[in-house]
Amino acid sequence: MAAATLLCSRAELVGATFDQCSGSVLVTVQGDGVQSYNLEQRQLGSLTLGSRSALEFQVASAQHSERAHDADQQQQRLGVVASVVHDRNAKSYSLCLSDPGSATRPISDAPSRLALPGPAQSCHILQQRQQTTAAGDSAAPRCLAAAVVLSDGRVGVTELGPDSAGQLHVPPSGQQPAPRTVLATSSQDTLLVAAQSAAGSPVTLRVLRLAPSTDGSGAGLTQAKTLTLACPGAGAAAAHAIPTGLTMTAAFALLQWSNGHATAVHGISGGAAAGAMRPCTFPLANTLLANGASTSASTAAAAPPPATASGRKRKNADAAATGGVRPRVLCAAVDDRQFVVLDLESAAAQSQVCFSLHDAQFGCPLSSGSLDLDAPLLNLDAAQCAVVAAGPEATIVRLGKAVHALHIRTQPVSLLSMVARLSVSATSAAAAAASAGTQAKPGSAGIGGSGVAKALVTLPAPVALDQGLLSAQAPDATAATGSSVAADDAQDVVLEPVPAAAVTRPEDICNSLIEQLSAAAAAAAPSPPPQSLLDSAVSYIAGRRQHGMAVPPQLLALTARGLAAAKQWSQLGTLLQHVPQAGLCGCSEVMVAVAAAQQYQLLSRLATCLDEVEPAALVTALQQLLAPSTSSNLAARQQYYRALRESAAKRVAEAEQAVAAAAAAARGGADRPAARSDGGGAAAAGGALALAQCAAAAVDGFSYREVLLHPVLAIPADAPAVQVALRRLSAPAADALLAYLAKWVIKYTGGAIGDMAAYVALPQELLFPYYHQVLEWTRMTMDSHLARLLMARAPLPALESLQAALTSAVEGSKRLIMLRGALEHVNTAAPLPAAHIAVATQYTAEVLDLRVR
């Protein structure tokens, strides 16, 4: 259920702020003062500005209040109200700090008044708390400060003491011109400031943290992180874009743009060592023409179809696409994992606001609906609408001259629910377009895909997860499972079979991902696909593979190439775990990118997943892997070598255990004929020994650089084409390749591996070329560089080693050829000659002519 509450409606409304400690809304009214309301519309207190007519509020005031105990354990309320007051006669600006408990003392006569160097953009109160006590009580604030964000982007801060405020610290103004747009928001000890110099220029987002004083000079702000964001959109939409709203939670910040986009910036918590901030941009402009009233039973009849949108709505949407008019859409961060989108346009004639909750990482819609609002929505200008604060308890918005509290219930975020809603919403959008006589055009505009933005408020109810579908649980154990698992933990349990009613038409999601990835790959600018799109594709592929569902090869190839272009190596490793053997087609450049980025841990799995590798790309990857070890790549190569050696050592230890177990079984069952006839233990020991032999051969005698070639040369190759491409291999790289191949020839011909290697199923991390592959690569390399090898002053040591090993192998083959007649005699089971005939030196052969004449 969703409901709206009108908190205050005043003609001279300046703005409103939210006090997180008390859960109250502070409303600032020009010429009157400030008034505090709770979320149930009950007024808690007020302060007047003063009787002087030259004084006026410049920005909305901020409040901080909390309950504490005095020495007699009497509960008392402490707090402070920070207001920026403009004196028109003196042309000065002041920060006034008042006590909300002193209602008889106006703000103009506040005990603490600090001069400001210029006009302000917003006012904030920051706090930094101590650790909680052993009894679980919340400790008093360790540091409390008031921060004023000036119009030129500077931030002034003053520490608030028990009786008075300290000195206001404002950094000096620089030589750069003042920014055109400045936005700020705060939460606890964090202040976010976004500044833009001109429309269409990049926006600088700064994360400032409250730092207590160590020398008694007062609290200050330290810059923890910074990020530069380019304006989203294309063409005129990006050229005229400006930021219009900024909200934040503990996990991410949400920046709204004037051209109908929103950027979620993750990773704002912690310092620079905690990781860089990660922006994800979601287009919201298409919701203007798509959003209608909710499909709930109470409002379905009054909802106009999307095709009957008014001319004014279409005009605003078209103008928003070109940067002319701001779309009447608001968005705000609600909690750590989702944000809310408010559409003030679609159902304005019915005095309704359409809303939808979205996942902050993928942009997938989670739930939607509409609520009745007592406000003239048709006459509202986008510049008069703003989000004051948002949270799980309520979303506070300013609409014109009124402040409303929107109570929207948040939804638990589950990947399965997001995938189901994506599919159902795409199906609903297609049905709506078909009923309106229009054809749904796939595109990238909209949150989570082309069809999703067309049905932001026409989504069905959330998908309910059946506890009986949990893996490894019997039907009678469902109740026990539900009681032992927490409600939030149950959302993360992986389900085995997905019911047909939960996910309908999964090909819609697949086709949407393929279209968006193809469009990103075919773009004129060589830029990787968006991070949110790649994350959605990987999650979708993983979900289908976990439930035994096939994935189109085109989606696998597009996702792998996009991850390689974006250098998302961890995500690429996750994707490869869900790709079947030889399931990647046309991804030769991925092998080159992995080799160039020194992501050697992906080589073995990539060699298994690639269907084929183009000869040019294969030679390019070999050129990079055969490069000498330097300080830039030595650490990565050593790490790969250590992992390979640890795997080989593990196989050898397993072989030792298998042999010991087989020997013990043989000794213990010597007196039992059945045990003596059972050869299962001996066969297992033989297989373990053969695998250990192969594992040891893949490590011993090879350098850090040479072990990287094992999986690459194990890929089946087109010999004639590769031989031609090997001519581009540099001379040092070709000599190093021949030296590597010579080591394998010596191992194969010297008995280090033996014939058992052909019958051993090699694990993924121990891939290496078989004997026939080694000989084929040796021939191709020598043929492609034959002229240089023949004209060399001295033969290569690798060629001498190859000659010696192959000569020894040929000599052994000649001895076997001499036994060819005896082997044929034995194979045909012919009788042996008698003893007196076997010692004779002469034999007589008689030929009988049995033809009938």
- Find all residues with CB under 8 Å of 273, minimum gap 6, and list them: none
3-state DSSP assignment of residue 546: helix
Residue 518's SS3 state is: helix
Quote the CA–CA distance of 322 and 308 in Å, as a whole number: 22
Q: Name the one residue in this structure whose structure tokens are 């008995």.
A: 751
Asked whether 192 and 206 are in contact (CB, 8 A), the reply is yes
* CA pair distance 779, 788, nearest whole angstrom: 15
Burial tier of 291 (Cβ tally within 10 Å: 0-12, 13-18, 19+): buried
CB-based contact 498:459 (threshold 8 Å): no
In tens, the pLDDT along 485-534 reads 444 443 444 445 545 544 445 567 888 888 888 888 887 556 788 888 89
Q: Is the dihedral of CA 565, 569, 575, 581 positive or negative?
A: positive
Please report, for residues 466, 478, 498, the alpha-carbon distance to residue 474 in angstroms, rounded to integers and kept in the order given. Answer: 13, 7, 16
pLDDT of residue 144: 87
Each residue's pLDDT tens digit, 735-772? 999 999 999 999 888 877 766 666 777 888 888 998 89
Q: How many beta carbons lie within 10 A of that of residue 442, not counting itself?
A: 16
Tally Cβ neighbours within 10 Å of residue 37.
22
H-run or E-run covering 619: helix 615-625
In the Cβ-directed half-sphere of 659, how many Cα atoms lie within 13 Å? 12
pTM over 0.75: no
Contacts of 16 (CB under 8 A, 6+ apart): 7, 8, 25, 26, 27, 28, 60, 388, 396, 398, 403
Q: Which residue has the higher pLDDT, 350 or 840?
A: 350
Residue 282, CA distances (Å) to 533, 722, 799 in order: 10, 45, 60
Pick the more confident residue, 316 or 396.
Answer: 396
CA 122 to chain centre: 33
CB 232 within 8 A of CB 259: yes
pLDDT digits (tens, 9 = 90+) for 53-74: 889 999 999 998 876 555 554 5
Percent of the chain with pLDDT over 90: 31
pLDDT level of residue 704 (50, 70, 90 thresholds): very high
Write the DSSP string, 767-820.
Answer: ----HHHHHHHHHHHHHHTHHHHHT-SS--HHHHHHHHHHHHHHHHHHHHHHTH
Summarize pLDDT for 161-204 with one digit per residue, the tens.
776 777 888 888 777 788 999 999 999 889 999 999 998 899 99
317-331, 382-396, 825-839: segment of lowest average pLDDT: 317-331
Distance CA 737, CA 743 (A): 10
Mean per-residue pLDDT for 813-836? 74
pLDDT of residue 111: 83
- Round to whole Å and give the CA distance between 449 and 427: 12
Strand order in the sheet with 155-159: 120-129, 141-150, 155-159
Query: Phi-psi bin for 462: left (phi > 0), alpha (psi -120 to 50), beta?
Result: beta
| Helix ranges (DSSP H) in 49-120 | none
Estimate the share of the chain in helix, then strand, then coil, as percent rounded to the nearest 5.
40, 25, 40
Domain boundaries, the chain: 415-479+491-613, 622-794
Half-sphere exposure of 548 (CA within 13 A, CB side): 4
Question: Regarding beta strands 92-98 and 112-116, do their DSSP bridges make them parallel or antiparallel, or are they unpaired?
Answer: antiparallel
Q: Mean pLDDT, to the nearest integer, of 420-449?
A: 45
- Give the CA diameter of the chain: 147
Q: Which of 435, 184, 119 lies closest to 306, judged by CA? A: 435
Residue type, 214: T
Q: What is the rounded distance in angstroms from the CA atom of residue 573 to the CA atom of residue 795?
A: 42
pLDDT band at 351 (very low <50, low <70, confident <90, very high): confident
* Tokens encoding 632: 């830039």
Rounded Cα distance, 412 and 488, in Å:
8
Lowest mean pLDDT among 373-382, 493-502, 577-586: 493-502
d(CA 229, CA 263): 9
Residue 426 has pLDDT above 90, yes or no: no
Q: Residue 69 pairs with which residues in a beta bridge?
A: 75
Length of the chain: 853
Q: Which helix (H) or strand (E) holds 515?
A: helix 506-521
pLDDT tens for 266-309 read 989 877 767 788 898 888 754 443 443 333 333 333 333 333 34
